[in-house]
Amino acid sequence: MNKEQIAEKLQTNHARFAQQLLQLNDADFCYAAEGKWSAGQQLDHIVKAVAPVNLAFGFPNFLLKWQFGSANRPSKTYDQLIEKYNRKLKEGGRASGRFIPAAVIINDRAKLIARLNKLVNQLVRKTKSQSEEALDKYILPHPLLGKLTLREMLYFTAYHVEHHRLLVEIGLENR
């Protein structure tokens, strides 16, 4: 995928997630099965996951290289990255630390969705401003997947929200 396609996928997937959450009634938004996250917590998790990516994409590339290094391999394809993520989840990988969502109440929904929309719009603009070469040259750390190229981090971010959108759907179907 080129940067324009990635930007479109980021926008589309996050908009679909936000729309799904806006359509939930209050009880469904707050419902969590035993040991699972509510839709609101899924939203909080996504906001917490997109924020540092957006922040990192605002740094000059020389600073990314100084802090994290540069890629020593080609970027994985979207499908390869998703396969790696799903394998890590099957091996027991889970969110940790600052990515674990807080309790979310219905009154938080609009604020969190507005925050997510703002972050995604900023990330889309920053993605489009990067060169295709830079997306494959510079790396960022991911807590579960290790070092990812900027392109791979964008792939992950676009897929990650879709993964959580499906978790919300499944959680409510199994209610």
What CATH number is associated with residue 48? 1.20.120.450
**Quick check: 21 and 30 in contact, CB under 8 A?**
no
CA dihedral 101, 145, 72, 130 (to 10 degrees): -40
Interval 79-95: pLDDT, tens: 999 999 999 999 999 99
**In terms of residue numbers, what domain contains 28?**
3-173
Q: How many CB atoms lie within 10 A of CB 67?
A: 13
Residue 95: what pLDDT?
93
- What whole-number distance in Å separates Cα of residue 19 and Cα of residue 34? 25
What's the structural domain count of the chain? Answer: 1
Residue 126: what pLDDT?
98
Residues ≥6 apart with Cβ < 8 Å to 1: 9, 78, 151, 155
Residues ≥6 apart with Cβ < 8 Å to 140: 53, 56, 64, 68, 147, 148, 150, 153
Interval 5-18: pLDDT, tens: 999 999 999 999 99
Q: pLDDT-derived band of residue 175, with 50, 70 and 90 as boundaries?
A: confident
Average pLDDT of the chain to the nearest whole number: 96
* Whether residue 78 has pLDDT greater than 90: yes
State the pTM of this model: 0.96
Rounded to the nearest 5°, which phi and psi values hold at 70?
Answer: -130, 165
* Whether residue 56 has pLDDT greater than 90: yes
Percent of the chain with pLDDT over 90: 95
Residue 71: what pLDDT?
97
Query: E strands of 18-145, at which residues?
Result: 139-142
